[in-house]
Amino acid sequence: MGGLFGVVSKDDCTQDLFYGTDYHTHLGTRRGGLATLNKNGFIRFIHNIENAQFRSKFEDDIYKMSGTMGIGCISDMEDQPLLISSHLGNYAIVTVGKINNSKELIKDAFIRRSTHFSEMSDGQINPTELIAAIISQEATFEDGIRRAQELISGSSTLLLLTKSGVYAARDRYGRTSLNIGEKEGSYCITMETCAFPNLGYRFKYELGPSEIILLKPDKIEQKAKPGNKLQICSFLYIYYGYPASYYENRNVEMVRNRCGANLAKRDTVKVDLVAGIPDSGTSHAIGYANQAKIPYSRPFVKYTPTWPRSFMPQNQETRNLVAQMKLIPIREFIKEKRLLFCEDSIVRGTQLRGTIQRLYDNEALEVHMRPACPPLIYSCKFLNFSQSRSELDLAGRRAIRELEGKENAAVAPYADENSDKYNAMVDKIREHLNLTSLKYQRLQDMIEAIDLPEEKVCTYCWSGKE
């Protein structure tokens, strides 16, 4: 996915920028970047963070940086921030989102403006550069941002560092979050509110969908009012968001506890202990255990100092190795036990199958799985949430293909949790993972846990409804 952080201050902002950006590295992506602006111009550093912590890559750079304004990002793959020279003036830009119609936008830019694009190492146009090209065609920064929001199919949340201040814009339907914090002499803008407490910022307000603001050290200027339609991504609450963060005034940890409790309310299975697949399954498991009055334990502990999140590597073999090496079993909590594990989701299921087998290897009697969301059967169209090369990589879609005997079978009937097709799909996934039982969260129970009106939450990955 990726994350953004920006700061404007009456004094030097480098330290807040460094730590604020670092509070987004749990989003688990590949590039990190920082840019500041002072009277001498821009200072920028970008590093690969796949195999090293953000802090270790940038801790020397920050002593070379200075300025009262800055932006930083954790990026899916492309280098950011980009430094742009345009008729609007020089600026730096960072973005988070997904552009589904990039080919059409690139073609239009070439034809109308003879725009030149650089290429990324894999031959693809950097999406942040494409957004910058759209912005730079308009008369003002705010006009350019609005134009980009209108043209992009997908989503784009962004920050621009200019001599006038930091422009911030939440994506058109608010699929990601963007929040303002304040303290004496400074404002910051962040996707993750977990950045506020330890840096001394107080939450001021969350931008609405498509809202555009300009942050200055002494004030906030609204450049475009928020739109009426909100479709925040529910997976932020279930998996990607940090437990201490808030979106739409809902705390992530509290939502996950409620997800687990809702799973327990519909369950009658008899087990000896409840656990979570660490780390993101832990919060759901605590909610389940508290509701069911079953002991919570840790049959697996996670070794965190050296291993990244296991979905990060592109190579499946490497992903499996990371998943195995970071989870260490404790045999006393496994041997001759009936275990129930909560998990945030089952995406491919490839790593999970190996994890379950390790439990049987340590003489578990039974292994039950309770994912905190429904089966994923559609790939996200709006954010870069899955590294899957194909929709058919999803465990749900593989099960459907096996049941139907073809790849182009109708998927919608399998999203109905009251249908025989749904039950057959879940049982096929259970067989593949070698589980004693498998029960997914009901969609309405997940929405209830998030505690937002259904129409304000994006559930496309499960329902296929936009």
What backbone phi and psi angles, to 5 degrees, belong to 362?
-95, 20
Q: Answer for the pair 381, 450: CB distance below 8 angstroms, yes or no.
A: no
Q: Which residues pair with 212 in a beta bridge?
A: 169, 224
Model confidence band, residue 1 (pLDDT cutoffs 50, 70, 90) = confident
pLDDT at 302 (0 to 100): 86
Q: Which has the higher per-residue pLDDT, 121 or 432?
A: 432
Residue-wise pLDDT for 164-178, tens only, equals: 999 999 999 999 999
Cis ω on the peptide bond leading into residue 279 (within 30° of 0)? yes
What is the average per-residue pLDDT within 273-287? 95
Give percent of the chain above pLDDT 90.
Answer: 79
Model confidence band, residue 414 (pLDDT cutoffs 50, 70, 90) = very high
pLDDT higher than 50, residue 111: no
What is the average per-residue pLDDT within 220-225? 97
Distances (CA, A) of 133 to 88, 115, 198: 11, 7, 36
Q: Answer for the pair 409, 395: CB distance below 8 angstroms, yes or no.
A: no
pLDDT at 311 (0 to 100): 47
DSSP 296: B
Q: Which residue has the tokens 């404002």?
A: 187
Strand intervals (E) in 325-373: 327-329, 338-343, 366-371
pTM of the model: 0.92
Q: Which has the higher per-residue pLDDT, 34 or 111?
A: 34
The Cα–Cα gap between 460 and 314 comes to 24
What is the average per-residue pLDDT within 384-402? 80
Domains and their CATH numbers in the chain: 3-230 (3.60.20.10), 250-463 (3.40.50.2020)
Q: What is the mean pLDDT of the chain?
A: 91
The identity of residue 303, as a single letter, is Y
Which stretches of 266-315 are DSSP H helices?
A: 280-292
- The three-class DSSP label of residue 1 is coil
- The three-class DSSP label of residue 450 is helix
The Cα–Cα gap between 248 and 158 comes to 18
The Cα–Cα gap between 184 and 187 comes to 8
Q: Which has the higher per-residue pLDDT, 267 or 387?
A: 267
The dihedral over CA atoms of 110, 111, 114, 115, expressed in degrees to the nearest 10, equals -30
The dihedral over CA atoms of 239, 242, 248, 251, expressed in degrees to the nearest 10, equals 100
Residue 417 in tokens: 């949790």
Q: Which residues pair with 205 in a beta bridge?
A: 180
pLDDT at 26 (0 to 100): 87
Residue-wise pLDDT for 297-350, tens only, equals: 999 998 875 555 544 545 556 666 666 678 999 999 999 999 999 999 999 898
Q: Which residues pair with 197 in a beta bridge?
A: none
pLDDT higher than 60, residue 466: yes
Closest CA to 9 of 200, 218, 186, 216: 186
Residue-wise pLDDT for 124-158, tens only, equals: 788 999 999 999 999 999 999 999 999 999 999 99
pLDDT at 425 (0 to 100): 98
What backbone phi and psi angles, to 5 degrees, belong to 366?
-140, 150
